[in-house]
Amino acid sequence: MNPIKKTVLTAGFMTAVNCMAQVVQLNAGIKVVAEGTIQLVVDNSGIKNDGVFIPDSSTVIFDGAGATSIAGSQQTLFYNVTFRGNGTKINNGDAAVLNALEIEGTTVVDADGITNDKAFTLKSSDTATAYIGKLTNGDITGNVTVERFINTGTANGQHAKSWQFLATPTSGQTIFQSWQESGSTPSGYGTIITGTGSGFDITTALPSLKYYNDASDNWTAITNTSGLLQQKLGYMLYVRGDRTITSSSAAPNNTNMRSKGNLFTAFNPPPSVPVQANMFQSAGNPYASRIEFDKVYQASSGINNVYYVWDPKLNGNWNSGGYQTLSAVTGYIPAAGSATTLYPAATPAPYIESGQAFLVQGNSTGGNIQFNENCKQAGSRLVTKAQLNNYGGLPPNRQFLFSALFTANGMIADGNVVAFENGLGNELNESDAMKIVNGGENFGIYRDGKLLAVEARNEITDNDTIFFHLQNLKQQPYQFRFAPIAVSSNATAYLVDKFLNSQTPVSLTDSSIIDFSVTPELGSAAADRFMIVFKLMSIVPVTFIDISATRTSEQSSIVKWQTANELNVQQYLVERSNDGRHFISIGSTSMVSNNGSNAAYEFPDQHMPDAINYYRIKAININRQTDYSAIVRIDPLVRIAGISVHPNPVKDKVINLHFIHKKGRYNITLTDKSGKTLYKNTFIISQENTSLSIKPASIIATGTYQLSVVSDSGSRFTTQLLIE
């Protein structure tokens, strides 16, 4: 390249540009900016970087036969890099990738060069984690450094010190060399590891590094950090921040857990993980790439199509994190998702990220977890950062009730899901997902002696019951939040509280929030305190086309609805609610047609409260069967502070004064056109919204008068009155 200070390779707006070269040499003092989505193709040669290469969103392609692709004294940072063609392409420089590394053709990438001491790094940050695409005929050999960013810290979106369920995609280093950074303290890397045994930074009775032992169905401590890091089962690691965070009182910061070694590829496939019948087993994602669990399930044998991950932000009041259950029955929507967790509610999470471990359960036969290159998926997501993704959706023709337990301060503690569809079966089977008990609060479903996180069952029948199971709650207020999806309009539901001997309606068309408390009283913290009971309604032969409600004045509204196929209907009841769940009847109408045709109705509500109001129509047929319309809402009345007279003209010689947010002491005077005082009095207004009726003792003739209201502070309200 020409010896200029700065070169910009640029692509036009929304247009990819190919730049062809044989040798790209950046001398000292030279800066090259590959701006935008440019593609730089290097044919039969490579890049020698002694200057600065800024990749932006570009793709660098090394094409042709084998050669030294990357060399030079300075790090060459790629956004996307592709090696294609044939032969061996060698890294003899310091290379790093921010997004995607692809290998096409029969190319073999030697990642650490002839001298075996050059770095080739897959970077990870709070925005992206680099990944290696699917390998078919190509391969990557030599040592690669793989990073996994952990978003610990005190800033918005970060989380406190926490357990992380991590995988190890490289082999070659020990725990001490990798996650302990060989005992050094580089800023932003590694973490302090504690325990009892050899090689720990601090000796503690309880370990900060352990693995799942399926033989004991429990976690087993690591006792020596000089052992090899590579562990097909994955690790549970307590991350405090980087290795500068050495005390329990120090504030956490974010860190990168990195390891260096050989990768698993098509020519070096990862080992299978055995799973015992009906037992849990852990596994680490073996690839430096995200994988799709359903494809792992398809490649494996003897496991259920459900997996479990650790969510450090599923805190509740114990601040200990918890397990998220992701089942194919729910389209991999998390059982305990919310805006405050790392797994958003109603959002599929079908991928296991690079550096992430997970748990599965064996079916009745048991088998093996298997991985292959087809399991890989493009893209990345932080294990410790929520991010929406587009993936399929809920299974069609299936109904759901998502139930969550929240603390009084609005933090989700746990959750569960019930899926309804004929064919799922009401007996325990592989469609149900067993619950793994958290260290903090637990909110599961109890069925046939088993604790579930996801219950799959046939369509709702009359008196169907969900038996909830609570565990490890504290004596304090809690809140249930129920979210139905596509539940039959022919069903109603009630939350039964055995402790309070109460029943509370649960909406099957909208979210419901129900508060409760755990107290010292016997039975308040009973595991089986709550259940939901369903009732089916008989269908009335009428179809509600639409319903609307409109405010017509401060305290009145009109409700309108249209029907089709109206036949054998006895009456319509108009019902009103202030919360959308508990409705009262405020009136009824008689039939217009009732002969199978269409009809239109309206009903005035003359005594509507100022707050939010919900309306629905209840249809009752001649056999006393019922059906309901959709629910409509009128927003609360917003009153502007002030004093007013209503009505004006004044009726029956009574003057009605309204004080809105006007507390105080007022002198009220009524005078005629000549200025003669006809009425005078003093009142104290002590409430925010007060109505005052005045009827002067003297007989006042029909005509125009002036009313004056003066406060002790001197503010004055004056208006003309027409008295009829």
pLDDT (tens digit, 9 = 90+) per residue, 644-698? 888 888 888 888 888 888 889 999 998 988 888 888 999 998 887 788 888 887 7
Cα–Cα distances (Å) from 267 to 82, 140, 489, in that order, read: 19, 9, 55
- What confidence score (pLDDT) does residue 16 get? 44
Same domain, yes or no: 506 and 563? no
Q: What does pLDDT average to over the chain?
A: 90
For the purposes of burial, counting CB atoms within 10 Å of the CB of 14, is it exposed (0-12), middle (13-18) or buried (19 or more)? Answer: exposed
Same domain, yes or no: 562 and 519? no
3-state SS assignment for residue 501: coil
Query: Residue 69 falls within a domain, yes or no?
Result: yes
Same domain, yes or no: 532 and 547? no
71: its two tokens: 């060399």
Same domain, yes or no: 520 and 408? yes
Listed residues 118, 143, 161: the one ending a domain? 118
- What confidence score (pLDDT) does residue 609 get? 85
Query: Residue 413 falls within a domain, yes or no?
Result: yes
- What confidence score (pLDDT) does residue 452 get? 98
Query: Residue 154 falls within a domain, yes or no?
Result: no
Q: What is d(CA 173, CA 583) in angstroms, rounded to the nearest whole number? A: 66
Residue in 126, 244, 115, 118 with CA at minimum distance from that of residue 181: 244
Query: Residue 53 falls within a domain, yes or no?
Result: yes
Average pLDDT per 10 consecutive residues for the chain, totaling 724 residues? 53 47 80 87 92 94 92 95 96 96 97 82 95 96 96 88 96 98 97 97 97 95 97 97 94 96 96 97 98 97 97 84 95 91 90 97 97 96 57 80 94 96 94 95 96 96 95 96 89 93 91 95 96 82 84 88 87 90 89 86 90 90 81 80 86 85 89 87 86 80 89 88 86
What is the domain count for the chain?
A: 5
Q: What is the 3-state secondary structure (H, E, C) of 11-35?
A: CCCCCCCEEEECCEEECCCCEEEEE
Same domain, yes or no: 469 and 430? yes
Residue in 324, 330, 322, 273 with CA at minimum distance from that of residue 296: 273
Domain that holds residue 481: 399-536
Listed residues 342, 377, 412: the one ending a domain? 377
3-state SS assignment for residue 377: strand
Same domain, yes or no: 424 and 527? yes
- What confidence score (pLDDT) does residue 196 get? 97
Same domain, yes or no: 646 and 630? no
Same domain, yes or no: 46 and 83? yes
What letter represents residue 424's amino acid?
A: L
- What confidence score (pLDDT) does residue 4 get? 46
Any bridge partners for residue 344, and if so which? none
Same domain, yes or no: 418 and 442? yes
Same domain, yes or no: 548 and 628? yes
Same domain, yes or no: 550 and 526? no
pTM value is 0.75
Q: In 10 A of CB 225, how many CB atoms? A: 21
- What confidence score (pLDDT) does residue 490 get? 79
